[in-house]
């Protein structure tokens, strides 16, 4: 049986492949990457490295050839680009005769009001149309997404948000990686949907947990979307990213990420790492960035 992970040199993809290598023989693993040179570390461990570019669908036919079980990691970019990339990847998987497709989606994708949802909805629908057995890994929110905000707190800034009382199911990328590895290499996951979420928390609860880790009070500054955008701009966020950040806050405020689920336990035998244990890992990561 041959398994392949797309986007394997990204942060999540790297963690997934590293997790798989703990239990799966390297000769059963392949990765599809835009730049094979960046995957040299996997190649020397015996993983087959294939060139596959979501912007060049012709490269995906050879990348997916002979693959039994495929994990498509959602791409980066604007929604229109991602919809095209995801549907092209699914079409290539169907042409290649892939027997199982796992896909990293977004929480509650089919009902989500998040502006990020359309590319995931398109991918899920494309996979369903193929008739190929599937598993949708509906990831809530990566704790790593908050690194820049946590850096601001470390430098004395408050926790700024326009998310109101909306809750988020933060979890470490490593937790999501272990869940994805379990699905790709395991059995009994055909035609499943897993809502992968940490314990939903408000911004105030998150800031309180961060304060305990840092040993200081972290004040929360609840503002409206316009003020939030102004503060982010003042903090150095590029102007073209501001609507993106505001839309995330809107989605959280509307409850799009407030998802109660025990699917982590089903896949990795434990809940997501508690925020009290996860945050010190992020703070340590930040200290190593400096």
3-state secondary structure of 140: coil
pLDDT for residue 287:
87
Q: Based on the domain organization, do 54 and 127 belong to the same domain?
A: yes
Whose structure tokens read 């926790």? 159
Q: What's the average model confidence in pLDDT over 141-154?
A: 96
> pLDDT confidence of 271, banded at 50, 70, 90?
very high
Q: Which residues contact 34 (CB under 8 A, 6 or more apart)?
A: 51, 52, 53, 54
Tell me, yes or no, whether 183 lies in a domain: no
- Alpha-carbon distance of 137 to 152, in angstroms, equals 31
Please list, residue by residue across 234-262, b when 16 or more beta carbons sit within 10 angstroms of its beta carbon and e when fewer do.
eeeeeeeebeebbebbbbbbeebbbbebe
pTM: 0.96
pLDDT per residue as tens digits for the range 71-89: 999 999 899 999 999 999 9
Tell me, yes or no, whether 220 lies in a domain: yes
> pLDDT confidence of 289, banded at 50, 70, 90?
confident
- Alpha-carbon distance of 189 to 129, in angstroms, equals 18
User: Does 99 have pLDDT greater than 90?
Assistant: yes
User: CATH number for the domain including 222?
Assistant: 3.90.25.10
Tell me, yes or no, whether 284 lies in a domain: yes
User: Does 262 have pLDDT greater than 90?
Assistant: yes
Q: Based on the domain organization, do 7 and 38 belong to the same domain?
A: yes
User: Does 53 have pLDDT greater than 80?
Assistant: yes
pLDDT for residue 288:
84
Contact 120, 171 (CB under 8 A): no
pLDDT for residue 36:
95
Q: Based on the domain organization, do 97 and 8 belong to the same domain?
A: yes
pLDDT per residue as tens digits for the range 61-72: 999 999 999 999
Sequence-ordered alpha helix ranges (H) in the chain: 11-20, 40-43, 57-64, 79-96, 117-130, 147-154, 173-185, 203-214, 225-234, 242-253, 263-268, 275-289
3-state secondary structure of 245: helix
Q: What's the average model confidence in pLDDT over 179-196?
A: 98
Whose structure tokens read 């995957």? 39
Show the domain range for 282: 141-170+198-258+273-290
Tell me, yes or no, whether 266 lies in a domain: no
Our count of domains for the chain comes to: 2
Q: What's the average model confidence in pLDDT over 166-172?
A: 98
Share of the chain above pLDDT 90, in %: 97
The number of beta carbons lying within 10 Å of the beta carbon of residue 148 is: 12
Q: Based on the domain organization, do 151 and 215 belong to the same domain?
A: yes
Q: What's the average model confidence in pLDDT over 236-255?
A: 95
Tell me, yes or no, whether 202 lies in a domain: yes
User: Does 290 have pLDDT greater than 70?
Assistant: no
- Alpha-carbon distance of 172 to 285, in angstroms, equals 12
Q: Based on the domain organization, do 122 and 166 belong to the same domain?
A: no
User: Does 23 have pLDDT greater than 80?
Assistant: yes
Tell me, yes or no, whether 252 lies in a domain: yes
Q: What's the average model confidence in pLDDT over 251-269?
A: 97
Tell me, yes or no, whether 211 lies in a domain: yes
Q: Based on the domain organization, do 282 and 152 belong to the same domain?
A: yes
Q: Based on the domain organization, do 63 and 105 belong to the same domain?
A: yes
Q: What's the average model confidence in pLDDT over 159-175?
A: 98
User: Does 208 have pLDDT greater than 90?
Assistant: yes
3-state secondary structure of 73: coil
Tell me, yes or no, whether 48 lies in a domain: yes
Q: Based on the domain organization, do 101 and 226 belong to the same domain?
A: no
User: CATH number for the domain including 37?
Assistant: 3.40.50.720
pLDDT for residue 93:
98
């Amino acid at each position: 049986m041959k398994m392949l992970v797309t986007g394997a040199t990204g942060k999540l993809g790297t963690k997934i492949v590293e997790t798989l290598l703990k239990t799966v023989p390297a000769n059963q693993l392949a990765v599809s990457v835009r730049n094979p040179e960046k995957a040299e570390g996997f190649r020397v461990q015996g993983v087959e490295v294939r060139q596959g570019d979501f912007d060049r669908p012709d490269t995906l036919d050879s990348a997916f050839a002979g693959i039994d079980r495929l994990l498509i990691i959602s791409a980066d970019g604007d929604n229109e680009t991602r919809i095209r990339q995801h549907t092209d990847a699914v079409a290539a998987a169907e042409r290649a005769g892939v027997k199982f497709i796992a896909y990293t989606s977004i929480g509650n994708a089919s009902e989500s009001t998040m502006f990020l949802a359309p590319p995931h909805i398109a991918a899920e629908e494309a996979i369903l149309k193929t008739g190929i057995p599937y598993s949708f890994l509906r990831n809530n929110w990566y704790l790593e997404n908050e690194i820049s905000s946590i850096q601001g707190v470390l430098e004395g800034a408050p926790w700024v948000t326009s998310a109101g009382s909306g809750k988020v199911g933060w979890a470490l990328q490593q937790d999501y990686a272990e869940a994805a590895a379990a699905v790709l290499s395991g059995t009994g996951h055909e035609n499943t949907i897993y809502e992968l979420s940490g314990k939903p928390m408000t911004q105030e609860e998150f800031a309180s947990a961060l304060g305990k880790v840092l040993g200081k009070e972290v004040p929360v500054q609840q503002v409206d979307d316009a003020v939030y955008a102004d503060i982010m701009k003042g903090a150095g966020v590029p102007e073209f990213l501001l609507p993106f950040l505001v839309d995330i806050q809107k989605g959280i405020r509307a409850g799009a990420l407030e998802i109660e689920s025990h699917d982590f336990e089903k896949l990795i035998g434990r809940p997501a790492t508690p925020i009290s244990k996860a945050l010190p890992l992020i703070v340590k990561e930040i200290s190593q960035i400096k």
